[in-house]
Structures are given as C-alpha cells and as structure tokens.
Chain A
Amino acid sequence: MSTLAITDLHVSVQTDQGTVQILNGVDLTIKKGEIHAIMGPNGSGKSTLAYAIAGHPKYQVDSGTITLDGENVLEMSVDERARAGLFLAMQYPVEIPGVTVTNFLRTAKTAIDGEAPPIRTWLKDIRTSMANLRMDKVFAERNVNEGFSGGEKKRHEILQLELLKPAFAVLDETDSGLDVDALKIVADGVNRAKETTGLGIVLITHYTRILRYIKPDFVHVFVAGRIAEQGGPELADRLEAEGYDRFLTPANVG
C-alpha cells in the first residue's frame, strides 16, 4: 500500500521581518485511497504544509521528514516530486501567458508519464474530463489561467488531477470562492478521480461545506502550525457546530 508519511515537520519562511516559523512538528500519514481533511483557522499553516509537500522554494524545511513509499521527498526537486506521484491543486493558480491549456496539459502529461500520450485516447480523455467538469471546449485553446474566473481556475486544477493521475493529491482550499454549483462539480471531479485511480487525498479547507460532497476518512485540526486534534468525520460535524474557538487561546490568535 502506497504511503505518504510526514514526520515531525518544521517549516519556516523568510519574510521582511526575518525568519518566521510556521510549522512546528507536523505528523501525518496518508495511505492510498484515504481522504484526510485538514481544517483550521486562517494562518494556522495549512497552505504551508501543502507548499512544503510540493517543494516550493520559499518554504524552508528545518527538520522532519516527508517520505513517499520510503523515498525521501525532501531530496527531490519540485518536478521530481510531481513525477513521483505528488500533485498540488493550488489555491491561487498562476497565469502562463501565451501557453494554451492544450499545450500545457500535453507537456505535463508527457513529463509525468515519460512519454507522449497516444494522441487519440488523450484527446478523448481531455474531452471527457472537460465535459464532466462542465468546461466549454474553447477553454482548451485559452492561455493557462489567463482571464479565468475563480471557478474556472479551480476546475482547471481538478482537470489536471483527473488527467495526470497522481498517487497523492493535496487540494489547497479548492473550495474557496466557489458557489454551490461549482463546488459540486469540483467535488464530483475529485470523487471521480478517487474512484478511477484510488489516490490518497489531503483536502485542505477552512470550511466544512466541501465535506458534504467529499467524505473524509480522517479529519485533522490544524492550529499554530501543528495538528491539535484528529478524529473521524464526526470531528468535522463538531467544528461545523462549534467553530474553531475552543482551539484559539489568546496566544495563538493572529
């Protein structure tokens, strides 16, 4: 069984005000086929965890380990991590002017698989996934994320998730800024990807709303850069009712 294991992870980031410690010892183990929801208030370090797994150069891992089936992820470059089977659906995907979605997807697929996808099945896969995500055909000829609405950007992230077929995906606030219809479409896409490939998912969210459509196996509450509490889906129900107030002592509000 494929496993993504994070042990005692400490991560800091350089800012104008100096080094800021963000993650203070995160332990998390995800097996293939599991869905882990990571919930927490703003500024608790959820997105930092996502970027640290993906290898964003801004985030400095000070100690701890991340392994994928025993392989040291921290020694891999960003693209090596992706080719090893990790995927990050970003909260704020960037624009790539002049690069069409079609060209981008083909280049990414070729990089991940180590060979160009067979053209006929590939085009069919794209069409099917785009139709499932209610994306218009003209979308494929637009430049990556250029002029996309918030909802289109998120759907484009999930389109990549479906086509690139990673072993593990981190979804960083994929639900933020989506109306309920778009949320359902995106959630369906995630569920479809899981049914097809049985990937493991880390679902980072501020709200419990998306958990109505994507059922987590585990829920972790993130506070001040570490996991403060974990449990099953029932923990999400409790957060829905109570909010994060009971985790927020005056010391870690901010």
Chain B
Amino acid sequence: MTVVSTPTTTPTIHEPVIPVQTRSERFASVNVEDFAPVTGREDPWRLTPLSRIEALANGEIIGDRYEVDSTPVDGISIGWIANDHELVGTAGTPEERASANAWGASDGALHVHVTGEDDKQATVSRAGFGSSPRGAHTVISAAPFSRGVVILENFGQAQLTENVEIIVGDGASLTVVSTQQWDDDAVHLASHFATVGRDAKLKHVVVSLGGSLVRLNPSVHLNTDGGDAELFGLYYADQGQHLEQRVFVNHDAAHTRSRVTYKGALQGDAARTVWVGDVLIRQSGTATDTYEENRNLILTPGARADSIPNLEIETGDIAGAGHASTSGRFDDEQLFYLQSRGINPDEARRLVVRGFLGEVVQQIGSPELEQRIHDAIEQELNQGVSA
C-alpha cells in the first residue's frame, strides 16, 4: 500500500487516539448517538468554525417536509418517499455527526427520479427552509441508461444539515448541480453520497457563492466496472464567509475513471475556504484513471485557503493517478499582458477572475444556469476586486 499523504487527527487530551490511517476505515453510522458531540478537534471538523455549526451537529433539529419549487418535466419525477423506502441508504452512510443528525431527524426524503434516454433537465428550487435548525434528506436516482440534468438551487434563509443520495443506474448519464446562493447568515452542511453503476457517468457540480458557512462534502463510490465520475466545484468567498468542500472518490472497481476540479476565489477579510480531496484506489480498482485538482485565487490580503489533496493507492495496477493544488494571488505576468493592451488594472483583474472561474461554469451544461452563475460572479466582482 502506498500512502502518499494521510490526514491526521489531533488526539484529545483525555483519551489519546490513533488517527485513522486510511480513508476506508473511517467510522460510519446512521445513528447520531454513535458519534460523540463535535468539539472541533476531530479531523473532519478541525478546519470548520464550530460556533456556526454547533446547533446543527450537536443540537436537536427538526426534519419535517418542506416546500420545493419545480416545473414538471417529462422523464423526471419529483416527490416524497418514506424513510423505509428501499432507495434510502443505498448510496452511503453518515461519517460525521451533523450528517447522522440529519439522517435521524428527516421525515422521509425528497425523491427525484430520472427515466428515459433523451436529454432533459429539471430544477428543484429550495428557498423556504427558514431559520430553525433542521435536517433534510434527498434521493436522486437515474434509471439504467437514462440521461438527465438535475439542479438543486438553494436560496433564502437556512440552518440546514442534509444528506443527498445519488444513485446512477447502469449505463446512465446523470448531471447533478447544487447551487448555494443563500442569504448572508445561512449555514448549510451537506453530505452527498453517490454510487455509479456499470459504465455509467456522473457529473457533479457544486457552486457555492452565498451563505455564512457552506460545507458540502461529495463522496462518490465507483463500485462497478467502468464507472465514471467528474466532480466540479466553484466557490467565491467574501469577507467572513466560510466555504468548505471535502471530496472523496472511492475507486472500488476496475476501469473506473474520475476527474475532480475545484476552483475558488477569495476576497475580503477572513474570507475562508477549505478544500480536501481524498482519492482512494482500492485493490479492486485496477486500471483506475484519476486526476484531482484544486486552484485558489486569493484576491485580497486577509483571506485564507486550505487545500489538502490526499491520494491513497492500494493496487499497483492503475492507468493513472495524479493531483495538483495551487493557491496564489494574481499572476503578475497575466496582469502585465492585459495592461499592456490598454486594459486598466481593475478590469484586468476581473477578466482574470472571470476566466479562472469560467472554466468551471462552462461545465454546468445548462445555458440558463451558466448565465445566472456568470451574473452572480459578476455581482461578487462588483463588490470589489483590488490588488
């Protein structure tokens, strides 16, 4: 086994613990009582401001069904299923307390089901969560050989911890987009669990722009031969905002492929982002082809980006595995080039940021949503990009 880089935990003073040495051994349970209350010292929480997530991780939360807004589309059904529905729990199990808290509290799951081989798209808008701490559960499933794009749009107030299960049937091609444009004081914790069927493809896109704290952790289990996962993320943290994403790709079958591309911009005092990218290639993951990258553009002093790629390989027989991470300020040579063409420094910086994030926006695959995200980035830029 080759461990390229392994996350460590800080042992507590009272009971020293040996840090979990491999991602596959992390404890998982649907029962919130199986997790000790979060103190902020646990590895999965050590980069997250505890005060903002404590109510969701350690407190009592509600989990009733809520209002969603969606337009009916042929081949994509949206409705509620009970907790004991056969699909609930098929894609994953909570690995931390806030996720288990949501699991236990939720009264049923919102179920989005995609059928049919034609291309189609449905948008589920959620803007009515209110300010009480609450949990939610969503299941997005794609029937074998079906194709579709499912967009989860998030607006308004929220103190939300949720689980989203994504089940991609054999030969299906599913795109799931989650956009976070919450109000300034919203807190949103999300665990996305995906399984990808034989020769199926999942494209997963996370766009986090608004909210006090957004922590969205997608994990993909490539447990069937030929599965393919592309995970994209775009985030833009302003003053005081905390935007976190912990990605886990679990290569657990032969000829599986994954690409992870997350790009973020940070602007303003105490703007904070965290990206952790775990890729595990198990013994079963022969001929795996994986590459993950995270790029951060730090636009002003006082912002902080954490970027932690981890690659764990348990088989010698892989097609390719790589990772890259960069966090930096503007490239002076890019700015010089643009300025030497008459473009003023402010406009040059906007052009660079727009281009930098645009590479991910282009991946969304829905022209209307791409335009909306472009406009939202433009709004962020208008709040000031300076040297």
Closest to B358 in A: A98
Q: Is B341 an interface residue (CB 8 A)?
A: yes
Known: A94-B337, A96-B351, A107-B351. A79 touches B342 (CB 8 A): yes
> What is the size, in residues, of chain A's interface with B at 8 Å between Cβ atoms?
29
Against A, the Cβ 8 Å flags (1 = close, 0 = not) of B328-356 are 00011110111111111101100110111
**Which residues in B have their C-beta under 8 angstroms from that of A56?**
336
Known: A94-B333, A96-B334, A111-B347. A78 touches B340 (CB 8 A): yes
**Which residues in B have their C-beta under 8 angstroms from that of A94?**
331, 333-334, 337
**Which residues in A have their C-beta under 8 angstroms from that of B357?**
98
Size range of the chain B interface in the assembly? 20 to 34
**Is A96's CB under 8 angstroms from B338's CB?**
yes
**Is B341's CB under 8 angstroms from A164's CB?**
yes
Main SS at interface, chain B: helix
Closest to B332 in A: A57
**Is B337's CB under 8 angstroms from A111's CB?**
no
Closest to B355 in A: A98
Q: Is A22 an interface residue (CB 8 A)?
A: no
Q: Is B359 an interface residue (CB 8 A)?
A: yes
**Is A88's CB under 8 angstroms from B358's CB?**
no
How far is the CB of A84 from the nearest CB of chain B, in Å? 9
**Which residues in B have their C-beta under 8 angstroms from that of A78?**
336, 339-340
**Which residues in A have their C-beta under 8 angstroms from that of B362?**
98
Closest to B357 in A: A98
Q: Is A83 an interface residue (CB 8 A)?
A: yes
- Residues from 353 to 371 in B contacting A, C-beta threshold 8 Å: 354-359, 362
Closest to B344 in A: A79
Give the docked Cα–Cα distance between A111 and B356 (Å).
21
**Is A88's CB under 8 angstroms from B332's CB?**
no
**Which residues in A have their C-beta under 8 angstroms from that of B345?**
77, 79
**Is B342's CB under 8 angstroms from A112's CB?**
yes
Against B, the Cβ 8 Å flags (1 = close, 0 = not) of A56-82 are 110000000000000000000111011
**Is A143's CB under 8 angstroms from B332's CB?**
no
Q: Is A93 an interface residue (CB 8 A)?
A: yes
Q: List 28 A-B contacts (CB under 8 A).
A: A56-B336, A77-B339, A78-B340, A79-B339, A79-B341, A79-B344, A79-B345, A82-B340, A82-B341, A82-B343, A83-B342, A88-B340, A90-B340, A93-B337, A94-B334, A97-B359, A98-B357, A99-B351, A99-B352, A99-B354, A99-B355, A104-B351, A107-B343, A107-B351, A108-B338, A111-B343, A112-B341, A143-B355
The 6 closest A-B pairs by CB, nearest first: A98-B355, A82-B342, A108-B341, A111-B342, A99-B355, A98-B358
